[in-house]
Structure 1
Amino acid sequence: MNIQAYAAAEPKADFKPFEYKAADLGPHEVLVAVEHCGICHSDLSMLDNDWGITTYPFVGGHEIVGTVLWKGDDVRHLQLGQKVGVGWSSGSCMHCRECMSGHHNRCSTVEATIVGRHGGFASHVVCKSEWAIPIPAALDASKVGPMFCGGLTVFNPFIEADIRPTQRVGVVGIGGLGHLALQFARAWGCEVTAFSGSPAKEEEARSMGAHHFVNSRDPKALEKVRGSLDMVLVTVNVNLDWNAYINTLRPAGTLYFVGAVPPVEFEVMPMIMGAKRIMASPTGSPATAADMLEFCARHNIAPVTEHFPMEKINDAFDHLRSGKARYRIVLDRN
């Protein structure tokens, strides 16, 4: 079949209508009819070829919500017409040590939805069935797309770092990732501290779950929370004074990166003396994604979204590039 999409011909170019023929679908694959697709900052990085891995014409989109239109003969767990989501990953080998241990997102040959293939800025998208995640009926399908990348990215650290409800969590950056991390941390049962260089965001950060707000541009404010946090979740993609944030950790605390920051520098001795650690992770496994959606349904967690018709994709990217998005952008197909 022919798939109608929007593609960019070169870095920083506008998206234009583009048609391509879908490859023959395999027995473990599904064809998803796209209804909504979030725009992630990673889509912008891929459009601009910031990471040097983009191929053109580029069809982005990896926060996809749609319905199963076709499924391979060996797909037993999904039904035609079922509402599913597809995120950053769309396939994994299913036989390596990481896949067999449930960490499909760490598979060395994991297939990224928009790297070397066409994504969800389109009428349809193809993925391996294990990466098409059923969406609970209690969730608003028009808003849930960003959970499959941004949401999963900040949900996974709570599991990987073994965070308990009695612990204290800080979130650095109140944006597309951070506003979801605040909601997760509060619902997890943690005491939550928001760090932001924008004092005007304090009221909103508290409404999303923060118990405390720290102006990250104020060294004295950072010093006041020294030794108080079990995890500091970094959602920004810029370099900060990481020693100051390491100092906010309790002994055995974790500085956890999910933002693609430039190379970092920090002092090792405070890490040694406090038995502290630095961690990072990519999105999450299909099982973690399913758990996240159930958690969202149980606690009424959802991204704050702005919506554009998919044909207005260039306006949506201009809005994202301007830094004015609050907090996730979703493209809707008619």
Structure 2
Amino acid sequence: MSTVLAYAASKANGALEPFEYKLGPIGPEEVDITVESCGICHSDLSMLDDAWGITRFPLVPGHEVIGKISRIGDQVSHFSVGDRVGLGWHAGYCMTCNQCLGGHHNLCSNAESTIVGRHGGFADTVRAHSTSVAKLPDALNAKIAGPLLCGGITVFNPLVQFGISPTDNVGVIGIGGLGHLAIKFARAWGCHVTAFTSEGAKEQEALDFGAHDTVNSRKPGAIKDATGRFDLLLSTVNVKLDWNSYISLLKPRGRLHMLGAVTDPLDLNLIPMMFGQLSVSSSPVGSPATIRKMLEFAARHDVAPVTEHYPMNKVNDAIQHLRSGKARYRIVLDR
């Protein structure tokens, strides 16, 4: 058995401290990844705080892993030792349910999450089922690619799932860790992209990311002036907004798609939705096939997250920086 050197929290809201654990014999379809870097996601904070009531301590967070395959199970044929790969939110799937067999592994009710009930990537090694691991295209910058494995696939998945056209008008609500990637992907997809932000200072940044125009949601009448413009609105915020105002911005058959983890109930007026045949939806990450497609698309169109970097032994400083709301825009831990 090999020893993994990691950083773990022993209680909710606790600091991350050096932690060791043993890896048993590798399964026939599993791979071990020597971690080179790992992004920090808001989901890591939620798990650290046990905000969802599913955390098991000690917790080793980290589900935006970039590294090299160091060991493979005897039934793994699509990877070789030394391959550079990525691992995201899921570390395994049941592979037998209708969702898995239909190619929707991310909807598998028995999927194994990388940091739920197991140890993640704030470590020197992480283990996962080989199906959940994606080879990194050579054209991607491995040093900053980690956030694509969660944040990137979260915003890319709706473009694929809903058949978004390059001629569609897409609005992105919130210009943060998810939002800046949503702008980049939607622009590269060919869409006309509008960024919604409540911070005037972020308007120019949104344009630099690829938005064609911006709407400052704090300006009186700014949202109303955009009525009926959008085929798709991607909400990346985790706070309650006047959702009916945003729904009024949709074209007939338009969609408001929720990517931020809003915990408050949505107060929606049904009648305008009914007569416009409008939809409100949400989705989690993406299937292994969609993750591979996203990585290839990002490599081809030079889509990359804006990142700040900390050495892994400064993980608590990095967590505090993320909590402060000052991160621009994704944080990556380097080993």
Q: Is the 8 A contact 1:161 1:254 kept in 2?
A: no
Alpha-carbon distance in 1 for matches of 2:36, 2:300: 24
Deviations 1:180-238 (A, max 9, x none): 00001101110000000001111110011111100112340000110000000000000
Match of 1:197 in 2: 198
Match of 1:139 in 2: 140
Kindly provide the amino acid, as one letter, of the partner of residue 194 in structure 2. T
User: How does 1:29-40 map onto structure 2 within 5 Å?
Assistant: 29-40=30-41
Alpha-carbon distance in 2 for matches of 1:255, 1:222: 15
Match of 2:48 in 1: 47
Match of 1:297 in 2: 299
After superposing the two structures, state which structure 1 stretch, 217-226 or 243-252, moved more: 217-226
Deviations 1:270-320 (A, max 9, x none): 110100011111000010000001100111110000000000000000100
- Identity across the alignment (%): 57
Match of 1:330 in 2: 332
TM-score if structure 2 supplies the norm length? 0.99
Deviations 1:244-277 (A, max 9, x none): 0000000000000111012211100011010001
Match of 1:278 in 2: 280
Alpha-carbon distance in 1 for matches of 2:12, 2:155: 28
Alpha-carbon distance in 1 for matches of 2:83, 2:217: 44
User: How does 1:73-84 map onto structure 2 within 5 Å?
Assistant: 73-84=74-85
Alpha-carbon distance in 1 for matches of 2:139, 2:5: 30
The Cα of 1:23 is off from its aligned counterpart by 2.4
Alpha-carbon distance in 2 for matches of 1:219, 1:162: 33
Structure 2 residue 116 is the aligned partner of structure 1 residue 115: yes
Alpha-carbon distance in 2 for matches of 1:11, 1:24: 30
Unpaired stretches in structure 1, ≥5 consecutive residues: none
Match of 2:319 in 1: 317
Aligned alpha-carbon RMSD (Å):
0.6
TM-score if structure 1 supplies the norm length? 0.99
* Number of positions where the alignment pairs a residue of Structure 1 with one of Structure 2: 333
The Cα of 1:241 is off from its aligned counterpart by 0.3
User: How does 1:153-164 map onto structure 2 within 5 Å?
Assistant: 153-164=154-165
Unpaired stretches in structure 2, ≥5 consecutive residues: none
Match of 1:10 in 2: 11
Alpha-carbon distance in 2 for matches of 1:212, 1:55: 44
Kindly provide the amino acid, as one letter, of the partner of residue 321 in structure 2. H
Alpha-carbon distance in 2 for matches of 1:210, 1:27: 46
Q: Which runs of 4+ in 1 moved over 3 A?
A: none
